[in-house]
Amino acid sequence: MSRSFQAELKCKTIGAEQAAASVKSGDWIDYGFGLGQPEVVDRALAARAPQLDRVKVRGCLAMSPRAVVEADPEARHLTYYSWYFSGLERKMHDRELCSHIPMNFGEAPDYYRRFVEVDVAILRCAPMDEHGFFNFGPSVTYQKAITEKARKVIVETDASMPYVFGVECGVHIDDVDWVVDGGASKLPELKNPAAGPVDRKVAELIAPEIVDGACVQIGIGAMPNAVCELLAESSVKELGVHTEMFVDSLVTLYEAGKVTGTHKAFNQYQMTYCFAAGSARMYEFLDRNPACFVGPVDYTNLPHRIMQNDKAVAICNAAQIDLSGQACSETAGMRQISGTGGQLQFIRGAYASRGGKAILCLASTYEREGRRASRIVARIDECNVVTTPRTDVMYVVTEYGIVNLKGKSVPERARALIDLAHPDFREDLERQARGYRLIGKTIF
């Protein structure tokens, strides 16, 4: 006879206020990742904020406002930390209410198991299944490692959370201290910006680099989405997916019949990912879908895993690239705008794959406060953080072309990248390149 877990669930179920009351001054609280961050317990903990002191809350890619932060706008009682900034966390950082923790995303589970202290983990999950497990939904990332390390584990259930298939995708009631019934919420969605002319031109340059049987990693943003739209209409076939983030455009690609996973080295015939953020349509697609396989981020993001798939293609965004090839993707000077995430690891993994390609894409210019500036610069801006070193950068794409920097000398790199810049900035970039002696007197 199979074991029933209902009695144990009933015994461990408490109210949000009681769960919040278990937090003590000085505690490290972990909210986990993305959709897996709590809502009702977050609000209950916010109500307790004035009673607490030196509480530290750790999260990542928050997709809805954090009540604990908004309840303490002077940060007198608690501080919030994030591994990777969402737009909300970026705004919190601008208000000095959030600090960044640098990390290669694929190392996150190991960070927790070896270095990170967690007093209380508060994670949003799907309701308990018949086997006693609370499924993490499409936020698997490093959630299992959190539950292993935490001194106390509180699960907040949400009946709207998609139930996903994979590995390390849930926590058993035996390993949970308390359960809070969060009802059924409307999950936060992440809207993709519409592709503009520049995005479409960049996509047109990238799409031919993706051949039959390639295994793709697609990130968030207008450019990667535009690539998927072109691939969905192209003759390419038998693609595989091994990605960090599952995005809406992958649903489009799958439904167009372009994704089979036939040639993948592992998780054959399935799309592999570690988290998802997007539309309600995508969440419905992921729910109990055997065509998808979710695993922790050290399963998806470590280079030695990525390289096992032949023809791996990683498509990543950059914010600024200098003429030696250094790529900045996470800061604007001292202002943190996102994080390293999985970029460096996917760039390295895709390059190491047999027939693989690592692609950094960016618009040639940006506008800020009515002023247009070049994203390709002679040297990176002061205090900007390099996400991908010049020795790792392979393909760079703007709307003006595509170039492979591997094997190119410093002068060759500089000239190639100047050709990718907007024409209005090329003359000044060449003058600066000569001033920095990136380009010498050699004319051949």
The catalytic residues are 244
Cβ-in-10-Å burial (0-12, 13-18, 19+) of 275 comes to: buried
- Identify the residue whose tokens are 């760039």: 347
Closest C-alpha to 234, from 261, 262, 195, 203: 203
Q: Distance between CA 351 and CA 344 in Å, rounded? A: 11
- Identify the residue whose tokens are 């900034």: 85
Q: Distance between CA 216 and CA 210 in Å, rounded? A: 8
Residues 357, 213, 138: CA angle, nearest 5 degrees = 80
Distance of CA 40 to the CA centre of its chain: 24
Residues 270, 288, 242: CA angle, nearest 5 degrees = 25
Helix or strand or coil: residue 29? strand
Q: What single DSSP character describes residue 107?
A: G
Amino acid symbol at 422: H
Alpha helices per DSSP H over 49-97:
67-70, 87-94
Question: At how many degrees (to 10) do helices 222-232 and 197-206 cross?
Answer: 60
